[in-house]
Amino acid sequence: MGNVILIGFMGCGKSTVGLKLSYRLRKSVTDTDKEIEKAEQRSISDIFSTDGEAYFREKETECLRKLLKTSGNQIISTGGGLPMREENRKLLHQLGQVVYLRAKAETVYERLKYDTSRPLLQGEHPQEKIRSLMAQREQNYVEASDIIIDVDGKDFEQIISEIEKLI
């Protein structure tokens, strides 16, 4: 079946869906954010505050290149901003089937309103930040994906069985 890659905005459920799907399909799971944190020995917030977003984006591309060499039959969940680079969208398509978990801004806000681990959503007016980032990103998510699943109001079981039917 090859790799199945999950993309989508922060808080859309990529990591949890990835983990549950990996149990269901008996595949291993890799999370690009966790791979980067492991390699760097520090959190994403630390990477952003010390070396900046551009540095982190470079690490994301490196991570995809490495996965292309090493992985073949996995579930891969990705950071929400990863599909914004054109090179990364190409790498994603080469890696396997790309599933976009599409969530509404309200859903994301409800899930992340107390979260402190996403540097891009800290500070004032998180709802507006979510809305404007999402609008900027939507087209790239669509372009990067083979399959789109709307996740609002659905539980993980529903989302996973929809994915299973489509891959």
If the CB atoms of residues 26 and 116 are measured against ligand S3P, the closer one turns out to be 116
Q: Using only C-alpha atoms, what is the Rg of the chain?
A: 15
Q: Rounded to the nearest 10 degrees, what angle do helices 156-166 and 14-25 cross at?
A: 60
Q: Does 64 bind ligand S3P (CB under 6 A)?
A: no
Counted residue by residue, the chain has a size of 167
Beta-carbon-side half-sphere exposure of residue 131 (alpha carbons within 13 Å): 5
Which amino acid is residue 73, in one-letter code? N
Could you give the C-alpha distances from 145 to 8, 15, 99, 106, 129, in angstroms and in order?
10, 17, 6, 22, 23
Nearer Cβ to ligand S3P, position 15 or 97?
15
Candidates 5, 35, 63, 81; binder of ligand S3P (CB under 6 A) is 81
> From the list 33, 83, 101, 151, which residue makes contact with ligand S3P (rule: CB under 6 A)?
33
Least Å from the CB of residue 30 to ligand S3P: 13
Q: Which is nearer to ligand S3P, 25 or 101 (CB)?
A: 101
Residue 96 CB, shortest distance to ligand S3P, in Å, is: 18
**Which of 51, 68, 97, 119: binder of ligand S3P (CB under 6 A)?**
119
Nearest to 160 by CA among 1, 8, 57, 6: 6
Which residues make up the interface to ligand S3P (CB under 6 A)? 10, 14-15, 33, 44, 79-81, 118-120
